[in-house]
Structure 1
């Protein structure tokens, strides 16, 4: 199963055929992803927050999720994420491919390689989100006639609270375009295990200090309905265009320690 989809808030428009729940044991806990078919391709679907959206972003077991995908043979991952806009260049309802990140998480394990027998890996993150996968997503968007912006700097915060206006002003000064709570360490861990990873951001709200009303999770969920349908179509078209194998540097990211 070389392909995987990691779904976050508001992703419920995918129709997988022949789907079944499987159990995968990892050194970090047990994971129960769904396996099924989409666009005549077998894939693994991982619900980031659990089936009932019961796990907040700071408590997601990112290491178990990513390890399970690699154990199942996954080479390429598409992730989805609800994001808040920090810039007038990114408006509500738009779809954006992330290309850089700023990490403001605080308590999340960031690596599989913690010394000892595991070794130490200083993984290269010059290009965090695989450009080869992003290009296939852009090709799919052209086939569908969808507008997708390719490139944005995402700042990942710890959550589960929303950010303060002062924090948002700081992130803007640092060059961030979008804000969310889930892409890190997910993208880093995928790179550590040699998998391609790209993330489709769905702009669901304006950040604190930009929006003129209090922020709520209900607003985010409601705002996902229209872009969520488009994302489902976009991912299906991407899977139809995808070829097996990796024509990028992602697969060699952990050669220094010789794992996987």
Structure 2
């Protein structure tokens, strides 16, 4: 199969890409199990991309149930070098309004039950993660939004994504704690993806789609399910436009990210001391170092 360098992970409300043409479904198995769903490959304006619905196309997987390792490993197997991750979030700040878009550049991890590394079983690696997303990719997404000049959509460049375990939303006390920490938005998935993408040497950035204010805001009590679903739908329409423009910009000017060599100084275990079984399991990630 031809290598596909751009991967798209769609979150709540974004289960498919309407503009994809020449669609094929690809089912992959990985050493870490099955991904969330089949991968949808297709063409966006003459550029081949691969799309994965994070929670499955019928949204049947809880955040804690997501096969994060399998999802990222399979994208690596397909040849992906850039991941555009769209994700529904709640806002922790008054100025970040429902239907706004955020490109966060920091994360705080509040998860408890996640497998957030490919390593272990006889091999140790510690990636640098001070800057958890690819700044170059974030800049391309921001440029795409500026090119589109979408009405009624404000862009916030930078900010901190609080990644909580879920599936229940925060208590008011927790929400106010995260605000005191400087949190901008809150979600349940993207940090784990970012860690694994860095280990897989894939540039990763989040396009966060604000559906509503988190429960710290008294107005939250008046938000209806219908309103949230309407916002999810509108966000998905706008997100597809931004992703399409971002893909176009990457295709026109592919770039080298620091993430593309993240393992160069991260692996502590001498590879000649690693078992053949572990090397085989991590082949898609380690191949250029073996």
Shared fold, TM over 0.5: yes
What is the TM-score with the length of structure 1 in the denominator? 0.94
Deviations 1:112-150 (A, max 9, x none): 01241xx11111111111111111112211211134221
Q: Could you say which residue in structure 2 is the equivalent of 1:123?
A: 127
Q: Could you say which residue in structure 2 is the equivalent of 1:9?
A: 12
Is there any run of 5+ residues in structure 1 with no aligned partner, and where?
none
Q: Could you say which residue in structure 2 is the equivalent of 1:222?
A: 230
- The answer on whether the counterparts of 1:136 and 1:242 sit within 8 Å (CA) in structure 2 is yes
**Aligned pairs, number:** 258
Higher deviation after alignment, 209-218 or 123-132: 209-218
Q: CA deviation at 1:216?
A: 6.8
Q: CA deviation at 1:108?
A: 0.6
Q: Could you say which residue in structure 2 is the equivalent of 1:68?
A: 74
Q: CA RMSD in A?
A: 1.7
Q: SS in structure 2 opposite 1:29?
A: coil
- The answer on whether the counterparts of 1:103 and 1:155 sit within 8 Å (CA) in structure 2 is yes
Deviations 1:54-84 (A, max 9, x none): 1111101000000000011000000001110
- The answer on whether the counterparts of 2:212 and 2:220 sit within 8 Å (CA) in structure 1 is no
- As a proportion of its length, which structure holds more strand? 1
* Alpha-carbon distance between aligned partners in 2 of 1:161 and 1:151, rounded to the nearest angstrom: 26
**Displacement over 3 Å in runs of 4+:** 214-220, 243-246
Q: Could you say which residue in structure 1 is the equivalent of 2:62?
A: 56
* Alpha-carbon distance between aligned partners in 2 of 1:215 and 1:160, rounded to the nearest angstrom: 18
Q: Could you say which residue in structure 2 is the equivalent of 1:161?
A: 168
Q: 2:107 aligns with which of 97, 101, 108?
A: 101
Q: CA deviation at 1:223?
A: 1.3
Q: Find the structure with the greater CA-based Rg.
A: 2
- The answer on whether the counterparts of 1:39 and 1:237 sit within 8 Å (CA) in structure 2 is no
Alignment of 1:138-149 (within 5 A): 138-146=142-150, 147-149=154-156
Higher deviation after alignment, 196-205 or 247-256: 247-256
Q: CA deviation at 1:168?
A: 0.5
Is there any run of 5+ residues in structure 2 with no aligned partner, and where?
272-285
